Amino acid sequence: MRHESEGPALPADRGPLSAAVTAYLRGAGPLPSEGEVRAADPYGDDLQLALYLCYELHYRGFAEADPDLEWDPELLRTRAALEERFLTALRADTPVHETVEGALKELLVEPAEGTGVSHYLRDEGELWQLREYALHRSLFHLKEQDPQVWVLPRLTGRAKAALAAVTFDEYGGGRPDQVHAQLFADLMTDLGLDTTYGRQVDAGCAEMLALVNLMSLFGLHRRLRGALVGHFAEVEITSSPASRRLAEAIRRTGAGPAAERYYDEHVEADAVHEQIMRHEVIGGLLEDEPHLADDIVFGIDATEYLEGRMAERLLSRWRAGESSLYSPLERTVEGATEDPARAEESRVLGVV
């Protein structure tokens, strides 16, 4: 059994699948059957958390889980069943472009003014909504680029060299204070959120878990290397204009200089990364392995599909004056609360 400081605590379960996986990680119960997995909602909180738990063993693990469970055969069989349920649903539900060129061309077209999450936050978002947005995104950004690195050993030539160059930037060009995960942690500090890795999983929604799981799914399977490249291209191509709007939202709400810095950095960096991803990474991969074109398209379009689900949740909840989180935070600017009961809720959910 590892010491608690060697990994985050296991999150609370959200149903029978995640409860069974959590119990197994603690050495105290059987894993769910394949029939139970097949019956679950592929995008629901329970399946997505169960899959997240399996994947996280390949990153930093959990304080209560033996590190040897990373390659436990029974757990890998359960993970495969969860992946199959998720991937089958994605392939059935994702509208897919016919060509790589068509998918990329559409990404370069900005959404109608005012229709996206970044438009909403720039124009009318309140500080509590920015905090919720940061909390959701922290499930990825506190390990920014880590899922994408899995694909590097599976590429060659131009694609590998270009993706390594982008990765070097994402990891701060060798400077630890410039690592993008650290910059995002600084942003969270400005917003009064606990930056401890894994601390915010309990509050993150299923739609965000699905996006994080998509990256791990594509990254951990060599056969899906084309999909991972497509996914990452989507992220880089859409990031710069969205980051510009989010930087404006941060300035308008006075969230803080570190918060501004994170998005200002991505306006510049991702404009460059977009060109590298389109011309060198995708271009190089298609030159070496043209048969991966359909996988690249699927990676782009599946990411767009899940981002659309995420945007729908955020905007529908916020426009109704409701929290978008699985477990809501107290809506205060400084993280202070109005009564002791709410103070305890915020403490548990990681408000500082």
CATH of the domain at 194: 1.20.910.10
Q: Is it the case that residue 349 has pLDDT exceeding 80? A: no
Identify which has the larger pLDDT, 59 or 107: 59
pLDDT of residue 222: 97
Q: What percent of the chain has pLDDT over 70?
A: 90
pLDDT of residue 270: 65
Domain, as residue range, for 178? 100-349
What would the mean pLDDT of 221-231 be, rounded to a whole number?
98
pLDDT of residue 113: 63
What would the mean pLDDT of 252-265 be, rounded to a whole number?
90
Domain end point (choices 48, 69, 93): 93
Side-chain-facing half-sphere of 123: CA atoms under 13 Å: 11
Q: Same domain for 133 and 73? A: no
Banded model confidence at residue 114, pLDDT cuts 50, 70, 90: low
Joined together, the tokens standing for residue 129 give 């909504």
Domain end point (choices 93, 121, 154): 93
Q: Same domain for 41 and 184? A: no
Residue corresponding to tokens 């994080």: 212
Number of independent structural domains in the chain: 2
Q: Same domain for 68 and 116? A: no
Instruction: List, in order, residues 6 or more apart from 276 with CB less than 8 Å away.
Output: 162, 165, 166, 236
What would the mean pLDDT of 323-340 be, rounded to a whole number?
58
Q: Is it the case that residue 269 has pLDDT exceeding 80? A: no
Banded model confidence at residue 347, pLDDT cuts 50, 70, 90: very low
Answer for the pair 43, 206: CB distance below 8 angstroms, yes or no: yes
Domain end point (choices 62, 93, 124): 93
Banded model confidence at residue 342, pLDDT cuts 50, 70, 90: very low
Among the ranges 250-259, 299-308, 336-345, which has the highest mean pLDDT value? 299-308
Q: Same domain for 116 and 28? A: no
Q: Same domain for 159 and 291? A: yes
Q: Residue 329 gets which letter from DSSP?
A: P
Q: Same domain for 108 and 63? A: no
Q: Is it the case that residue 282 has pLDDT exceeding 70? A: yes
Q: Same domain for 74 and 150? A: no
Q: Is it the case that residue 321 has pLDDT exceeding 70? A: yes
Q: Same domain for 284 and 227? A: yes
Banded model confidence at residue 275, pLDDT cuts 50, 70, 90: confident
What would the mean pLDDT of 315-330 be, rounded to a whole number?
90
Q: Same domain for 22 and 111? A: no
Torsion of CA 219, 235, 145, 48, to 10 degrees: -60
The mean pLDDT value of the chain amounts to 90
Q: What percent of the chain has pLDDT over 90?
A: 78
pTM value > 0.85: yes
Considering only CA atoms, which of 75, 33, 41 is closest in space to residue 56? 75
Identify which has the larger pLDDT, 106 or 91: 91
What would the mean pLDDT of 311-318 be, rounded to a whole number?
97
Q: Same domain for 139 and 277? A: yes
Q: Is it the case that residue 3 has pLDDT exceeding 60? A: no
State pLDDT tens for residues 59-70: 999 999 999 999
Residues 77 and 74: their CA atoms lie apart, in Å, by 5
State pLDDT tens for residues 37-61: 999 999 999 999 999 999 999 999 9
Banded model confidence at residue 112, pLDDT cuts 50, 70, 90: low
Q: Same domain for 158 and 278? A: yes
Between the two ends of the chain, the Cα-to-Cα distance in Å is 29
Q: Same domain for 45 and 143? A: no
